[in-house]
A and B are shown apart, each in its own frame.
Chain A
Amino acid sequence: GQQVMQIPQYQHVQEGEDFTTYCNSSTTLSNIQWYKQRPGGHPVFLIQLVKSGEVKKQKRLTFQFGEAKKNSSLHITATQTTDVGTYFCAGRRGATNKLIFGTGTLLAVQP
């Protein structure tokens, strides 16, 4: 079954509001990546987190990796219409090179 879950599945916000998606794994991850997929497009790599408790920022986006390396979050401050899309987390377990994608969160931003 699915081992990397994301909540919520869907979020509709007004432009300017904040948005957060949460990613939870049933097992410890060696690292976690985040991807963004625009409607009709393909996933594009955003960032990778490796260390326990790591926090990284990209302009209005803040990414966090949990202390136990089982969960992660992506927070967008003051959303814009260009933020629309599905955000996927993806994690690797142990020495495996296979990336397990989360279920995704679809963000809709109303102008």
Chain B
Amino acid sequence: EADIYQTPRYLVIGTGKKITLECSQTMGHDKMYWYQQDPGMELHLIHYSYGVNSTEKGDLSSESTVSRIRTEHFPLTLESARPSHTSQYLCASSEQGRNTIYFGEGSWLTVV
């Protein structure tokens, strides 16, 4: 198992609130990713980063933003949460030159 951690694991918040999902990995991986997955559905890449100060949008448009100030940390922020943002958010990382992606345990977000 990989050392990649996400907090909070579960969160219920009201519409309009700002939230940040934290993701940290202790493996020194350069590449980090955020995937969004609705229950029973496929994973959609919403953000990725190939290193510090590098962030890119993924294949699925998302209103969230990310930052990569430190190698080990890749937080995702929603400035104003809406019920449509209710989903599971999975953070992942991989080593430069290697293809295997290691996932965190996920953050389940419910916006009411």
Whole-angstrom distance from the CB of B87 to the nearest CB of chain A?
14
Whether A98 and B59, one on each chain, are in contact in the complex, defined by CB atoms closer than 8 angstroms, is yes
> How far in angstroms is the closest Cβ of chain B from A49?
11
B58 beta carbon closer than 8 Å to chain A: yes
The stretch among A14-22, A54-62, A72-80, A102-110 that forms the contact with chain B is A102-110
Contacting residue for A33 out of B44, B90, B100, CB 8 A: B100
Contacts of B99 in A (CB 8 A): 31, 33, 48, 92, 99
**Cβ of A88 < 8 Å from any Cβ of B?**
yes
- Interface segment, one of B21-29, B65-73, B76-84, B103-111: B103-111
Chain B 16-38 per-residue mask, 1 if CB under 8 angstroms from chain A, else 0 = 00000000000000010001000
Residues of chain B contacted by A31 (CB below 8 angstroms):
99
**Also in contact, A48 and B100, with CB within 8 A (given A42-B105, A98-B59):** yes
A103 to B58, CA, bound (A): 17
- The answer to the question of A82 belonging to the interface, with a C-beta cut-off of 8 Å to chain B, is no
**Chain A, 83-98, CB within 8 A of any chain B CB:** 86, 88, 90, 92, 97-98
Q: Is the CB of A45 within 8 A of B102?
A: yes
A42:B106 contact, CB within 8 angstroms: yes
In the complex, per-residue mask of A46-71: 1 if CB is within 8 Å of any chain B CB, else 0: 00100000000000000000000000
The answer for the CA separation of A97 and B102 in the assembled complex, in Å, is: 14
Tell me whether A101 and B31 are in contact (CB under 8 A): no
* Interfacial residues, chain A to chain B (CB-CB below 8 A): 2, 31, 33, 41-45, 48, 86, 88, 90, 92, 97-104, 106
Can you list 26 residue pairs at the A/B interface with Cβ under 8 Å? A2-B42, A33-B99, A33-B101, A41-B106, A43-B90, A43-B101, A43-B103, A44-B103, A45-B101, A45-B102, A48-B99, A48-B100, A88-B43, A92-B99, A97-B31, A97-B50, A98-B48, A98-B58, A98-B59, A99-B45, A99-B101, A101-B35, A101-B42, A103-B41, A104-B42, A106-B40
